Chains A and B, each alone.
Chain A
Amino acid sequence: MTLDEFFAPKILIVSGKGGVGKTTVAAALAVLAARGGRKVCIAEVDQKGTLPKLFGGAHPGFTPKEMSPGVWGLKITPEEAMEEYLRVQYHMRRISKVFTSTHFVDYVTTAAPGLKDILVLGKVWYLEEGKAGAAGHRFDTIILDAPAAGHMLTFLSAPMGLSDALRVGPVRKQSDWMIEMLRDPARTRVHLVTLAEEMPVTETIETSEALRTSVGLNEGMVFANAVYTRLFTPTEESRLAKRGELDGELAVAAKAVGVELEEEDIDGLIGYARFLTARRKIQSRHLKKLKAKTEAPVVELPYLFSAGLGLPDIEVLADVIQRGIEETDA
C-alpha cells in the first residue's frame, strides 16, 4: 500500500485501551502525514495532555493550533463541543452558556448516553467539512485520538446507539450523518493500538471483529506498540541460556579490546540478555494470537528505551509505520 492510499481517507480514528501508547501512535501518524505535505489536525479527547509533551509547547485548546510544521492540535471537550453545536445549529449563544454551566451536559449525556461521543464526532465532522469550528482551516488529514475510558466499542458505536434510541428530531438526523461519515471507507478508517499483552490483545481482537460485523466501520491497521526488537539469533539465545564456555569466550573477546570482564560484569550482560529473551517470548505469544485472530494487517512498533518520549522518537516510529504501510498489500 502506498502512503497516498493509506491517507486517502481524511479521517483516521486511533483507538486503544488506556496506557497502550495511543497518543504516541496518533502523533507518529500525524508526523508521517505531514511529511507528505498534508495539513494535519490531531484531536485529543482525554485531558491528559500527552500531545504537548510529545511536540513541546503549550496545551492546545478547542481551536486548532500549530504544534509542529504542518501538524495542528486541538483538545475536544464535550462541554465546548456542546456549546459550539448549539451556537452553530440553533444560533443560541446565550442559552448555550446555561447548558455548559450547571453540569447540564452531565445530565443530558447520561439521559442519552453516546451524546458525549457524538459531540466529539460532530466536531470531527465540522473539521472535515471545513465549516464553522474549523476556524478557517481546511485539513487534509484529521487524526482523532479516541477516548481511552471504557471499551473501545462504546465510543465507536455511539452514533448507532443514539440513532436507534431517537426516532425523530435533529439529533437523529445528525447522528445519521455521523454514521454515514464513519462507515464510508473513502472518508474514515479506524486504526487500533495495542500492547503485546493479554488484556489489550483480547480487547483489540474483540473490537476488530465487532468493527467488521456489528458496527460496520472500516478497520485500517493494528499497531502493536512497544515490541522488544530481536537482538540475538536462536543459536546465540541457546548459548546464553547454557552459559558454560561462553563466559570465557566473552572475557577473551573483551580483553582483545582492552576491557577486563569480572564475573559480575558477565552476570549483568547475560542476565539482561535472558531478560530480553524471556519478555520477547511472552510478547510473541500474544502477537501470534493477535495476528491469527484479526484480519487487519498488524504493524509492530519497537520498544524505545529512551527517557520519556519526544519528537525524535515520534520520527523513529513514523519511519517504522511508513515501512509497515509500504509492506502491506493494498
Chain B
Amino acid sequence: MSILPSIIQEKEVIVCAGSGGVGKTTTAASIALRAAIDGKKAAVLTIDPARRLASSLGLKALSNDPTRVDVKTFEKTGIKVKGELWAAMLDTKTTFDKVVQQYAPTPEQAERIIANRFYRNISGTLSGTQEYMAMEKLYELHADGGYDVIVIDTPPTRNALDFLEAPKRMTDFFESRVLRWFLLPYMKAGGGVMRMANVAATTFLKIVKRIVGTEVLEDTAEFFGNLEGMYEGFKERARAVARLLQSNETTFVIVTSPAEDSVAEATFFATRLNESGLPFGALVVNRVHPQIGDPVELKPRQLAKLESEDGAGRLLAKLIENEQSFRRVVELEEANLKELARKIPSHMWVRVPYLEQEAVDLPGLLAISEQLFH
C-alpha cells in the first residue's frame, strides 16, 4: 500500500526533492493530478523549465501565476476530476521583484533596486537565488492562493543542501559584514569620516578596481546602500518560510532513481531532513528496471551452441543475452537501493517501474499517478 493517498489527505504542502533527471517534475504533477481527482483544489509549482509539463496538461505555457487546467481537457481524455488542478512555473526574477517591492520603504527605492545592475545579476546568477525564490513563491501560494494542496518540485541542484539552506545563505549574503566593510568607501552614506577609517579597505578596493573596473563596485555599493532598512523584512519572511516547512502541514517526498549517484544524494537528503527537523513523508523510487518472470539458467556451452544456430535457436540466444543484461542492471539497482533501505523504513517507499511510455499527456500522467498511489 502506497503512503501517498494518506499524504494528500493530510498535508497542504508537498515538497518533491532529489537530484536532477530523476523525474521530479512528473512525480509532482502526478501527485497534484491525483489530489485534484480526489476533489482537492490542487496546484503544482515547477522550478524546472520543463516545457513538456505544460503540454502534457494541455496548456500552452506555464507562468509565474497558476493557470487552471481546463475542465474540457479532462473531459476529452475521460478523466473524472472532482476538484481543480492548477499549474505554475517559477519565474525567479518576477518573484524577486515582488519581494523587493513588498519590503522597500518606498516605491522609488524598489525601482532603484530593480534597475541596479548588481541586482539584475543576483536575480539571475547567484547560486541559491532560485531556491530562495521557490520557497518565497510557495509561501505566497500557500498563504493567499486558497489551495488545499500545493505540490512543488525543487531546483535540480547537485547538492541537496543548497536547497535547504538557500534562504539562510541569501540573508547571510546580504548582511555580510565583510562585504559591507569592503564597500563602505563606495557607499554614499559612508561619508568622510568612514572613508578615513577604512584605509585598509580602500587599498584593497584599489586592487579590485584595477581588476574588475569601477562600475562593478559602484553598482554593488549602490545596491547594498538601497537595501538598507530592508533586512528585517527579508529575515522575518525567511523565518516564516522555515516555520511553514517545519510545520505538520508540510511533508517532503524524496524522489530518486536507482542509479548510484542519485541514491547517494537521496540517502544524504534523508539524513539532512532528519537533522533539520523537517517532516519526511515518502520516498519515490522512479525508473526502476522491472523484474519479469524467472531467469533462464544455462551453461556458456549451451548458449554458444544456440548462437551458432539460425531461426528459433539464434533468436533464443539473443533473448537470453538481452535478459542477462537487464537482470544485471536489476541486480545492480537492488544493490544501490540496499543502503537506502537501511535509512528509510519500508512503509515510506513507493516504487515506480520504468514505464514503457513517456508522460506526454494527461493519460500518461494518470498512468504514473496510478503507480504512485497503488
Contact = CB atoms under 8 A, between A and B. Distances in A.
B118 A111 contact: yes
A169 B13 CA distance: 50
A112 B210 CA distance: 14
Interface in A223-261: 231-232, 236, 239, 246, 249-250, 252-254, 256-259, 261
Contacts, number: 185
Interface stretch (A35-43, A182-190, A212-220, A271-279): A271-279
Interface in B318-334: 318-323, 325-329, 331-332
Interface string A195-207: 0001100100000
A264 interface: yes
B325 to A, nearest CB: 4
B276 interface: no
A250 B314 CA distance: 10
Interface string A142-180: 000000110000100000000001111111100000000
Interface stretch (B27-35, B134-142, B295-303): B295-303
A79 B290 CA distance: 45
Given A149-B158, A166-B213, A269-B323, A108 B294 contact: no
B61 to A, nearest CB: 15
Interface stretch (B65-73, B81-89, B214-222): B214-222
Interface stretch (B93-101, B121-129, B244-252): B121-129
Interface string B337-361: 0000000000000000010111000
B166 to A, nearest CB: 14
Contact of A253 (B118, B215, B306, B322): B306
B213 A115 contact: no
Contact of A169 (B211, B296, B313): B211
B356 A259 contact: no
Nearest to A286: B358
A69 B147 CA distance: 60
B293 A265 contact: yes
A257 B158 contact: no
Nearest to A150: B125
Contacts of B320: 269
Contact of A111 (B212, B298, B305, B309): B212
Given A250-B312, A305-B329, A275 B292 contact: yes
A5 interface: no
Interface stretch (A57-65, A96-104, A122-130, A313-321): A96-104
B77 interface: no
Nearest to A102: B178
B315 A268 contact: no
A112 B327 CA distance: 50
B220 to A, nearest CB: 5
B196 interface: no
A292 interface: no
A270 B319 contact: yes
Interface of B: 19-21, 48, 50-52, 118, 121-122, 124-127, 156-158, 173, 176, 178-179, 182, 204, 207-208, 210-213, 215-217, 219-220, 260-261, 289-290, 292-298, 302, 305-306, 309, 311-313, 315-316, 318-323, 325-329, 331-332, 354, 356-358
A172 B321 contact: no
In the complex, which of the residues B52, B210, B260, B312 has the most CB atoms of chain A within 10 Å of its own CB atom? B312
Nearest to B304: A257
A115 B212 contact: yes
Nearest to B296: A265
Interface of A: 17-20, 46, 48, 90, 92, 95, 98, 102-104, 106-108, 110-113, 115, 148-149, 154, 165-172, 198-199, 202, 231-232, 236, 239, 246, 249-250, 252-254, 256-259, 261-262, 264-276, 278-279, 282, 305-308
A103 to B, nearest CB: 7
B51 A202 contact: yes
Contact of B358 (A112, A198, A268, A275): A198
A271 B315 contact: no
B156 A250 contact: no
A92 B203 CA distance: 13
Contacts of B212: 108, 111-112, 115, 166, 169, 171
Given A250-B315, A257-B298, A271-B290, 17 more contacts: A19-B20, A46-B158, A48-B158, A90-B207, A110-B121, A110-B122, A169-B213, A249-B312, A250-B316, A253-B316, A257-B313, A259-B296, A262-B294, A264-B293, A268-B293, A269-B323, A274-B356
A92 B312 CA distance: 75
A92 B207 contact: yes
Contacts of A48: 158, 261
A274 B290 CA distance: 12
16 contacts: A17-B20, A104-B182, A108-B208, A110-B121, A113-B121, A171-B213, A253-B313, A259-B297, A264-B293, A268-B295, A269-B323, A271-B293, A272-B322, A275-B290, A305-B329, A307-B332
A259 B315 CA distance: 15
A273 B158 contact: no
Contacts of A19: 19-21, 261
Given A268-B292, A268-B293, A276-B322, A170 B210 contact: yes
A17 B354 CA distance: 21
Contacts of B219: 111
A107 B364 CA distance: 45
A305 B290 CA distance: 15
Contacts of A267: 292-294
A167 B213 contact: yes
Given A108-B208, A171-B211, A275-B356, A305 B319 contact: no
A231 B293 contact: no
Nearest to B330: A272
B253 to A, nearest CB: 20
A229 to B, nearest CB: 10
In the complex, which of the residues B21, B176, B309 has the most CB atoms of chain A within 10 Å of its own CB atom? B21
Given A48-B158, A259-B298, A308 B260 contact: yes
A164 B50 CA distance: 30
A231 B321 contact: yes
A103 B158 contact: no
In the complex, which of the residues A98, A106, A246, A274 has the most CB atoms of chain B within 10 Å of its own CB atom? A106
A207 B178 CA distance: 38
